[in-house]
Structure formats: structure tokens, C-alpha cells
Structure 1
Amino acid sequence: MATPVYIRIKQSIYVQPSSMIKLGDIARVTGPKRQVPVLEQMILHEVTDEDRNIVVIDGFMVIEQVLTKYPQLEIELIGPTQCVVHVEEHKREPSLILISLIWLLLFIGAAMAIMNFHYDVSMGAVQQKLHFMLTGKESDHPLWIQIPYSIGLGIGMILFFNHWFQKRFNEEPSPMEVEIFNYQEDMDHYVAIKENKVEKTDVDS
């Protein structure tokens, strides 16, 4: 009885245009030591202009190509059944001017959203009433409440997003990272179902 070869396909990978996609690129292979290096170098697909920016490598196609070359092997596919290959050119360094403009736009937008929220809930009137309840005096600008509140609001947002520029406070992902991860997973799942263009006859070498 042949020793099985286990193949665990990755969820998604990124390659450059005109790349030769090998089994070792899209999957983790384990099994007999003499077979694993050969299988990892096995070419599954060559990226062409027709592929555009997404290629889907199907697990069934992987098994079929492996068995075509090595019919004596016993293949066990575990994990995801498809790998979404994102074709991307080498990324250029981001422009400092563009980053500054985006940062300024987001800063103004966030500031406007916070100010509009405070206006809608009459935060100023609430703070004035709180000042009157605690001191018995009326004040249009109770700074001893407003200043700590503003500082606390900023600190709370930093802690919520778990980042200070490049510094992460702990190992927990931020809500933004979770949303991006979920979006990427949903997109990969959709693409794997709707954009599977790779056929078993792609590469036969």
C-alpha cells in the first residue's frame, strides 16, 4: 500500500504577471521525503494576460494533474479546496504627498463626523448642565469637563483601533483589520465560485 501524500491548499496567494505557479506555491505538501520536493516543483499553471488579475486553482485539478504524472501516488487533499491567486505587479513605494492628502481628508472627515454627532446629541448643553449639577454655577464653557473629555475621546479611539502609527499595543487585531480580513475572505470565496477559469489542460509538463 502506497504512503499517502497530503496536500493542504492555501486560501490565497499573490504572484507577479507571467509567473509559473507551482504546487509548492499554492499548497503545503507532506509525505514521502523523496516525493515531496518533486511535487512542490510541479508546475500547475502559467499566468498569462488572459488571466487578468485573478486565477483560481481548483483542488480537483491539482489532484488530476498529480495523478496524471504520478499515478502510483495516493493523494489526500485537506483544508480549502481552492486557492485564489492574485496577480499583482511589483508595488511602487507610496507617494508621501498622496498619503498626506488622504490623511488630511480622513482627519477632516472624522472631525466633522464627531462634531456633527456632538451637535445632534447636544453634548455642549449636557456638559453645561453637568457642570451646574456638580458646582451649582452656570458656565458656557466648562473646560474642566470638556478638555478631559476631548483627550479621553482621542485615547479611546487609539485603544479601540489598537494602533499608534506602526506600533501595535497587543496581539489582538483591530476592528479595521477584522473587517478587511472578512472582506478579503468573502471576496476570495466569491471569486473561487464565480471566476474558476483554470482547466485541467492548462499545463501538462
Structure 2
Amino acid sequence: MSNENVYIALDNKKTVEIDKDIYIKDIAKVRANNPGLQKKIEDLRIYKSKRKENWDYISADEIIQKIEEKYKDININMLGASEVLMEIKSLEDKTGLLQFLKVLAICIILFLGAAIAIINFHEDVNMQMSLEKIYYTVSGEKKDKPLIMTIPYSIGMGVGVAIFFSRVISKSERRRKEPGPMEIELFLYNKDMEQCILNELSNNEDKK
């Protein structure tokens, strides 16, 4: 076992249940030439989650220290992230009815929010007058609320938004697999939030 090289690639984030033992294999990928040693390191308990929902983190130094306490004369090579952010949360109820109600509530909120935003935008720019002027320019006839303009405009706006935020109707398989603008924004938001939480936890640890 002397001078064995062990490579450990840490995950960036791990979601764990309350009051649960966490092993190295749960938060990292371990590689070693010795399969027996690799299995022992993977099964090494590294952390026990708290008894209430919270955020915590495990640093690469803690993992190295735990391994060296148990196994001597090995070379530990840490890859990937230097810290693992731990999201401690209770097990969610994933029943079909509850999930459906959550999705329904979110859809209603998003629909109402988008509708209000569109209404306010059209009021600000006076879109009704713009459509009336376009109708007058094309037909030479003045008409209030020309439906021949407003109906296609409303349909086109809805179809345009659906095309912009969705890749489903694209003929290209590569295009359909690309994330949409909303998915990218959510990904960046989660990444920034997790980095901010990790920085706060690390700073609080340094002050102790």
C-alpha cells in the first residue's frame, strides 16, 4: 500500500438528507490502482449532516486529513473543486398530486406576471395607436381598434415567445438539445447563489 496514488475529484454541490452519514463516494469520484484501497477510501465516513435544514461545506483539506488519519504512505491528489457545498434538506414529498399543484401554482403566477408585464409595456408605448396608424397607412382608412391588425399581432407575439423560449419545434436535433434562455438564467442564478453561500460559510469559519 506504500506510495499508492489516489485521485479524488470532488463534486461542486451535494444535496443530503437531515441527520445522515456522508461517505467520500457520495461527494467525490475516487480512482486508485489498488481496487481494495479505492473501495476503502470510498466507504470512509467523512461527514454527518445536521438535524435541521441548513447549508454547510466540506473542504478538500478535511478530506485529506480524514484519509491520512486512516491510511498512511499514500499520495492524495485532489482534482476538481476545492470545496463541496452541502445542501441539507428534508426528504420532499414527491406524490403526483403535490407536484401537479406546485406546477399549476407556478404556471398561474408566471402567466399573470407575464400578462401584467405585456399589458404595461403596451400601455407605455401606446401600441393601440401604433396599430391604428399602421392600418391607416396601409388601407387609407381610419378605424379604431382594427381587429385585422390586433388579432394577428396578438397571435404572432404568443408564437414568437414560444419559439424563443422553446427548442421543441426545431428540426435540428442539436438545436433541440440546447438550453433555452430561461434555463441559462436559472443555471447562472443557482451558480452565483451557491458560490455566495459557500463564500459566506468559508468566511464565517475563518472568523471562528
Q: What TM-score do you get using the length of structure 2 for normalisation?
A: 0.83
Structure with the larger RCO, 1 or 2 (CA within 8 Å, 6+ apart) = 1
Q: How far apart, in 2, do the equivalents of 1:95 and 1:11 lie?
A: 27
Establish whether residue 20 from structure 1 lines up as the match of residue 21 from structure 2.
yes
CA contact (8 A) 2:7 2:77 kept: yes
Change beyond 3 A, Cα 1:80–1:95:
closer
Unmatched runs of 5 consecutive residues or more in structure 2: 169-174
Matching of residues 17-166 of structure 1 within 5 Å: 17-32=18-33, 33-49=35-51, 52-92=53-93, 93=95, 94=98, 96-97=100-101, 99-162=103-166
Paired positions, count: 194
Deviations 1:84-107 (A, max 9, x none): 111111112426455444433332
Aligned to 1:193: 199
Change beyond 3 A, Cα 1:151–1:184:
same
Change beyond 3 A, Cα 1:63–1:95:
closer
Aligned to 1:173: 179
- In structure 2, give the amino acid aligned to 1:182: L
Change beyond 3 A, Cα 1:97–1:23:
closer
Please state whether the residue corresponding to 2:164 is helix, strand or coil: helix
Please state whether the residue corresponding to 2:78 is helix, strand or coil: strand
Q: How far apart, in 2, do the equivalents of 1:100 and 1:188 lie?
A: 27
Range 15-24 or range 31-40, more displaced: 31-40
Q: How far apart, in 1, do the equivalents of 2:48 and 2:188 lie?
A: 29
Change beyond 3 A, Cα 1:47–1:171:
same
Q: How far apart, in 2, do the equivalents of 1:101 and 1:70 lie?
A: 52
Deviations 1:29-82 (A, max 9, x none): 112222221111110011132x74212010111111111211211111111100
Q: How far apart, in 1, do the equivalents of 2:20 and 2:125 lie?
A: 56
Q: How far apart, in 2, do the equivalents of 1:171 and 1:143 lie?
A: 38
CA contact (8 A) 1:55 1:196 kept: no
Q: How far apart, in 1, do the equivalents of 2:109 and 2:79 lie?
A: 46
The structure where helix makes up a greater share of residues is 2
Please state whether the residue corresponding to 1:170 is helix, strand or coil: helix
CA contact (8 A) 2:53 2:90 kept: no
Provide the identity percentage: 30
CA contact (8 A) 2:17 2:88 kept: yes
Q: What TM-score do you get using the length of structure 1 for normalisation?
A: 0.84
